[in-house]
Amino acid sequence: MAPQSTDVRPRSTPPAEQFAARLLDILGPLPMGAAGLRGQAARGESRMLIDGELVESSSGVRFRNVNPATEEVVGEVADGTAEELDRAIAAARRAQDESSWARDGAFRRHCMEQFVDAMARNLDELRLAMVTELGCPVRLATGVQVDPVVDKVRFMAGLADGWQEATELPEVSAGPMRTLRQIQRTPIGVVGAITPWNIPLDIALAKVTGALAAGNTLVLKPAPDTPWTTALIGRLFAEETDIPAGVLNVVHSSDHALGARLTADPRVDAISFTGSTATGRKVMAAAAEGLKRVHLELGGKSPSVVLDDANLEQVVPLAAALGCFNAGQSCILPSRLLVPVGRLNECLELAAFGMSSVPVGDPFDENVFMGPLVSVAHRDRVLAALASGLAEGGRVVVGGGVHPDFDRGYYVQPTLVADAPEHGSLIQEETFGPIVVVQAYEDLDDAVRVANGTPFGLAGYVWSEDEDRARDVAGRIRAGMIGINGGQFTGGDMPFGGVGASGLGREWGVAGLDEFLEIKTIAAARFS
């Protein structure tokens, strides 16, 4: 797996430092004051929110929170048990059935807007938790992971009181009877939300705000790898809003079996899950026993299609390097780079330059684009998946192992792979690390075929000098979201989700509200 030399910069490409600056510019400028996070010790939040109270585990047990950049234990967090989960579900059920939360849209909006204001006041604490426990670079925290989420939540809060008015349909008559018809939307009930560690604030709040705005109550079971970020959600709601007890509950635990218990509990009416496709299938099967509504946001193997008319020197290094966003730990990343076969060698050289120029290092350094992977276990899984895939064919062009520049932390080299077999695991399976695989295509139809050549359908990317041509290709790619020439497809008002093995349903936007509503038809007879 020895990488080829990339010491010589390809002709027409900028210096590595200039390219690195371009990558960082994508994340946006560091807000005033955020640079001061370096050297601060994250305090975090160790308690769970259950039935309106911030509590420890009944077992008295806590689990460790580890900084993946330093391998140091930075704190401990209450380790929820089946007892805490049962209390949380009971509280959510009671709040749904007995409080006015489902009916009072103005009050829901009030509470959610209080939470938005609380987020804005506590941005530094949220940023610090994100950088410390995920290893997320500070520019990524401010530009993507934390700060933009405030506006997304504000958008969802604005939907909380706007959907309850019934839709009137034309009345129908039959003899002396007239029927007045209307369509109402009602909350589903109690929602169980199971969230991952890689985008912990955004994904959790997509579910929380969609469910709450729709008048539901919620039990959130986040991943244990990034507990502080989601525990802060619970604390801010508890201490800085008027939300009634039981409407929102947050149970963090090192016991992954609690997610299965939440899914199977008959008091829970719907499950919203984000995670791997394999686990999503299990969630869907378990929810089927109770015929629960299921929303799944699952894996991806997103194609980045560089058309033959694109400016390769500008596009290919960037398209490759974007696979290192969040250390490759995101389901929407462009992990497959599709390039014209006639220019394959040139594109490999350009992609290698891009990957080699990604600034990797201390997450608190504002000039770093990529930090460590979240844990030693995940680092080992990524490298094992790479080794297994290479055994099927393919070769490493750049990277391929533990990053040699760091004597501590779970760092992996940005890795570029060529010549992988089309039906091999490096093409067909999500590796969830900074690994980009280059695939060649013959012509436009073949590019679409290759792009659609996996079971996933979450996101896609198209690069071209001709936007109409790019839109045509985008329309033929099976995916829930497409970015053309770097266009951003995420936002509070933009539905997020995929098709095929990438899941069911949407988050954020009006569609993200509708996921948590039922349709009720009412017909009232009148006789003349």
Residue 14, pLDDT > 80, answer no
Q: What is the pLDDT of residue 9?
A: 52
- Alpha-carbon distance of 233 to 238, in angstroms, equals 9
**Residue 31, phi-psi category: left (phi > 0), alpha (psi -120 to 50), beta (remainder):** beta
Residue 10, pLDDT > 50, answer yes
Residues 367 and 280 in one domain: no
Residues forming a β-bridge with 437: 336, 417
Q: Calculate the average pLDDT of the chain.
A: 95
In a domain, 39, yes or no: no
Residue 191 CB partners (closer than 8 Å, separation 6+): 207, 211, 216, 217, 218, 219, 268, 269, 270, 271, 272, 516
Q: What is the pLDDT of residue 44?
A: 86
Mean pLDDT of the 371-379 span: 98
Residue 35, pLDDT > 80, answer no
Q: What is the pLDDT of residue 16?
A: 86
Residues 308 and 294 in one domain: no
Q: Which two tokens stand for residue 500?
A: 């095929």
Residue 4, pLDDT > 80, answer no
Q: What is the pLDDT of residue 101?
A: 98
Task: Name the residue range of residue 439's domain.
Answer: 16-29+300-491
In a domain, 483, yes or no: yes
Our count of domains for the chain comes to: 2
Residues 240 and 293 in one domain: yes
Question: What is the band of 270 on the pLDDT scale with cuts at 50, 70, 90?
Answer: very high
In a domain, 11, yes or no: no
Question: What is the band of 12 on the pLDDT scale with cuts at 50, 70, 90?
Answer: low
Question: What is the band of 41 on the pLDDT scale with cuts at 50, 70, 90?
Answer: confident
Residues 311 and 433 in one domain: yes
Q: What is the pLDDT of residue 13?
A: 62
- Alpha-carbon distance of 269 to 326, in angstroms, equals 33
In a domain, 452, yes or no: yes
Residue 484, pLDDT > 70, answer yes
Residues 194 and 324 in one domain: no
Nearest of 503, 495, 432, 504 to residue 277 by alpha carbon: 503
pLDDT tens per residue, range 117-158: 999 999 999 999 999 999 999 999 999 999 999 999 999 999
For the CA atoms of 275, 411, 80, 234, the dihedral, rounded to the nearest 10 degrees, stands at -80
Q: What is the pLDDT of residue 165?
A: 87
In a domain, 393, yes or no: yes
Burial string for 118-136 (b: 16+ CB within 10 Å, else e) reads bbeebbebbbbbbbbbbbb
Better-predicted residue by pLDDT, 4 or 296: 296
Catalytic residue among 297, 430, 507, 515: 297
Q: What is the pLDDT of residue 11?
A: 56
Output the pTM of the full model: 0.95
Q: What is the pLDDT of residue 444?
A: 97
Mean pLDDT of the 284-307 span: 97
Residues 271 and 341 in one domain: no
Q: What is the pLDDT of residue 175?
A: 85
Residues 414 and 309 in one domain: yes
Question: What is the band of 315 on the pLDDT scale with cuts at 50, 70, 90?
Answer: very high
Q: What is the pLDDT of residue 1?
A: 32
Better-predicted residue by pLDDT, 227 or 175: 227
422 is catalytic: no
Residue 507, pLDDT > 90, answer yes
pLDDT tens per residue, range 330-364: 999 999 999 999 999 999 999 999 999 999 999 99
Residue 235 CB partners (closer than 8 Å, separation 6+): 45, 47, 49, 54
Residues 83 and 197 in one domain: yes
Catalytic residue among 125, 331, 429, 507: 331
In a domain, 4, yes or no: no
- Alpha-carbon distance of 484 to 444, in angstroms, equals 16
- Which of 5-9, 78-82, 256-260, 329-333 has the weakest average pLDDT? 5-9
In a domain, 37, yes or no: no
Residues 234 and 331 in one domain: no
Residues 74 and 220 in one domain: yes
DSSP-based three-state secondary structure for 73: strand
Instruction: Tell me the chain's radius of gyration from C-alpha atoms.
Output: 24
Residue 3, pLDDT > 70, answer no
Residues 313 and 443 in one domain: yes
297 is catalytic: yes
Please state, for a pLDDT cut of 70, what percent of the chain lies above it: 97
Mean pLDDT of the 482-500 span: 97
Q: What is the pLDDT of residue 46?
A: 94
Question: What is the band of 5 on the pLDDT scale with cuts at 50, 70, 90?
Answer: very low
Residue 8, pLDDT > 50, answer no
**Residue 170 belongs to what H/E stretch?**
strand 167-174
Residues 176 and 137 in one domain: yes
CATH number of residue 236's parent domain: 3.40.605.10
CATH number of residue 414's parent domain: 3.40.309.10
In a domain, 5, yes or no: no
pLDDT tens per residue, range 393-419: 999 999 999 999 999 999 999 999 999
